[in-house]
Amino acid sequence: MNVDTTTSAEELRHAMVDKIVEEHQWRGLPLRADVERALRKVPRELFVPGVSVEEAYADTAVITKRENNMNLSSVSAPNAIADMLNQAHGQHILEIGSGGYNAALLREIAGPNGSVTTVDIDEDVTDRARACLDAAGYTDVKVVCADAEFAIEPGRRYDLIIVTVGAWDVPPAWVSQLTDDGTLVVPLRTLGLTRSWALKRSGDRLISRSNLMAGFVPMRGAGAHKGRSVVLGDGVNLWLTEPDQHVDEGLEGVFSQERHEAPSGVIVSSGRQSPDLDLWLASHLPGFAALIAQQSAIDSGLVVPSWQYGTPALTRGATLAYQGRLRQVAEAEYEYVAYAHGPEAAWAAEAMAEEIRAWDQASRPAPVLHVVPGDTPDADLPEGRVVNKKHSRIIFTDPTK
Ligand SMILES: C[S@@+](CC[C@H](N)C(=O)[O-])C[C@H]1O[C@@H](n2cnc3c(N)ncnc32)[C@H](O)[C@@H]1O
């Protein structure tokens, strides 16, 4: 690499990090100093050979493996990585899903006495990560090829496990590989909503400390899980990720029926809707499901969702209600609104608006997630909405109760 390229890579890196820092500040989630330092230091261009230095610092994911139109592996976007790194500290760290770049950041954060192991199910990916880490001087990061559903280095425990692939469940090995007060950061899909949860171990349980919006390629191997899609209209589906989620027949074409609107009266000043409201609705509304819309269905006005990739929705019989896009009601005031179609549309829109008001009246809490072993009896569960996975039971609890 010649001197000019090095200088411009450094300049581009600092410019990218400046933006990430600013954006975190704006969201009220200031970036930790050690995370910022690592982002400023690790040369991302060495982890995405084959793309231009401008692309390396465009703050987007670089897809490194695709099959049958599916993204199987990528070097994640720095902004998304920064979010997760900001969620937890650790000195002895296991990263699940290897691109090389995040492992290098983690190596910086772990400090001189720390350690980083990164694991990927795919040998092409681990070979690539090993080569990039070596080229960038991170030779002491351990790279393992294995299915991370199972324990990686038997007998070893980590104070931080950071999962960089979309998971549907928390397998027992993730809990048992944590130190007694260790933290698992995992993008977990529940009821169609994916959040990066920071979960602290407490005995055989995990309890959340924070959650953030997240999106990752799905897990492969023994922990792979497929949801079901229910078509509502051209480019609009409900995505059912839990086996016991159910919708009735007769919803296809529901948008051809008149749209009812129910304003909630709940205002947000920033124009940024709260992801905590989605989780509240998921855990409080009977018949909850996440609605996914293609851009074409939004552009045509068929559907006006709050968020394209997982809008809170509910169904009852052949009726659908969903959370609409925030509606501007004054200069800096935006209102949450519910829309519904179908035979019981007026009731359904109002039911959703009422639940939005309930969340507001409860002071807009973020739920606390508990993850307990799958064989935990009902009597030993905290109060809340229970979602049963293959290995674990997941409970959304209300911190205000
Ligand atoms: C988004 S990429 C990881 C990005 C990476 N952390 C980085 O530095 O940007 C997700 C990776 O998870 C891997 N993966 C999927 N299922 C897995 C499993 N069961 N065990 C280990 N790795 C898995 C994929 O092969 C893919 O490379």
Catalytically annotated residues: 76
Report the alpha-carbon distance of residue 88 to residue 106 in Å, rounded: 11
23 & 140 share domain: yes
31 & 63 share domain: yes
Residue numbers of the domain that contains 195: 3-223
Pocket test for ligand 1, best of 64, 119, 186, 217 (most atoms within 8 A of CB): 217
Q: At 124, list the tokens.
A: 């092409």
Contact, 245 vs 285, CB < 8 A? no
135 & 34 share domain: yes
Q: State the CB neighbour count (10 A cutoff) for residue 42.
A: 24
Judge whether residue 109 has pLDDT over 70: yes
Ligand 1 nearest atom to the CA of residue 217, by list position? 1
Contact, 158 vs 92, CB < 8 A? yes
Look at 4-13, 55-64, 125-134, 356-365 and tell me which has the smallest mean pLDDT.
4-13
Specify the pLDDT at position 263.
Answer: 97
Ligand 1 nearest atom to the CA of residue 47, by list position? 8
Specify the pLDDT at position 123.
Answer: 96
71 & 177 share domain: yes
Q: How far is the CA of 41 from the centre of ligand 1 (A)?
A: 23
Specify the pLDDT at position 7.
Answer: 64
> How sure is the predictor about 70, in pLDDT bands with cuts at 50, 70 and 90?
confident
26 & 168 share domain: yes
> How sure is the predictor about 2, in pLDDT bands with cuts at 50, 70 and 90?
very low
189 & 235 share domain: no
* 381 within a domain of the structure (yes/no): no
Give the residue, by CA position, lying nearest to ligand 1 atom 13: 97
* 70 within a domain of the structure (yes/no): yes
Pocket test for ligand 1, best of 120, 161, 226, 390 (most atoms within 8 A of CB): 120
> How sure is the predictor about 271, in pLDDT bands with cuts at 50, 70 and 90?
low
Look at 89-98, 143-152, 165-174, 215-224 and tell me which has the smallest mean pLDDT.
215-224
Give me the numbers of helices (H) and strands (E) for the chain, helices first please.
10, 20
Question: Mean pLDDT over residues 140-161, rounded?
Answer: 96
Judge whether residue 147 has pLDDT over 70: yes
Ligand 1 nearest atom to the CA of residue 76, by list position? 9
What is the longest distance spanned by two Cα atoms in the chain? 68
Last residue of a domain, one of 165, 189, 223: 223
Judge whether residue 51 has pLDDT over 60: yes
> How sure is the predictor about 1, in pLDDT bands with cuts at 50, 70 and 90?
very low
Give the residue, by CA position, lying nearest to ligand 1 atom 14: 97
* 391 within a domain of the structure (yes/no): no
> How sure is the predictor about 5, in pLDDT bands with cuts at 50, 70 and 90?
low
146 & 12 share domain: yes
179 & 283 share domain: no
Q: What is the pLDDT of residues 349-381, one digit of tens each?
A: 999 999 999 999 999 999 999 999 999 999 999
> How sure is the predictor about 4, in pLDDT bands with cuts at 50, 70 and 90?
low
Q: How far is the CA of 227 from the centre of ligand 1 (A)?
A: 19
Question: Mean pLDDT over residues 91-105, rounded?
Answer: 97
139 & 58 share domain: yes
Q: What is the pLDDT of residues 22-42, one digit of tens each?
A: 999 988 889 999 999 999 999
Number of domains into which the chain is organized: 2
Report the alpha-carbon distance of residue 393 to residue 244 in Å, rounded: 13
Q: How far is the CA of 208 from the centre of ligand 1 (A)?
A: 23
Q: How far is the CA of 288 from the centre of ligand 1 (A)?
A: 29
* 163 within a domain of the structure (yes/no): yes
Ligand 1 nearest atom to the CA of residue 221, by list position? 19
314 & 172 share domain: no
Last residue of a domain, one of 206, 223, 240: 223
| Strand pairing class (205-213; 368-373) | antiparallel
What pTM, to 2 d.p., does this model score?
A: 0.94
Q: How far is the CA of 121 from the centre of ligand 1 (A)?
A: 7
Pocket test for ligand 1, best of 220, 225, 226, 391 (most atoms within 8 A of CB): 220
26 & 148 share domain: yes
Which residues partner with 313 through β-bridges?
Answer: 289, 322
Judge whether residue 91 has pLDDT over 90: yes
**Pocket lining for ligand 1, CB < 6 angstroms:** 72-76, 95-102, 119-122, 125, 147-149, 164-165, 216-217, 219-221, 223
Report the alpha-carbon distance of residue 107 to residue 101 in Å, rounded: 10
Length of the chain in residues, anyone? 401
Judge whether residue 270 has pLDDT over 80: no
Kindly report the average pLDDT of the chain as a whole number: 94
* 398 within a domain of the structure (yes/no): no
Q: At 342, list the tokens.
A: 């179908």
Specify the pLDDT at position 6.
Answer: 59
234 & 193 share domain: no
| Strand pairing class (236-240; 228-233) | antiparallel
Contact, 20 vs 39, CB < 8 A? yes
Specify the pLDDT at position 52.
Answer: 92
CATH of the domain at 79: 3.40.50.150
> How sure is the predictor about 3, in pLDDT bands with cuts at 50, 70 and 90?
very low
Which residues partner with 229 through β-bridges?
Answer: 239
Q: How far is the CA of 63 from the centre of ligand 1 (A)?
A: 12
Question: Mean pLDDT over residues 51-73, rounded?
Answer: 86
Q: Which uninterrupted H or E stretch holds 369?
A: strand 368-373
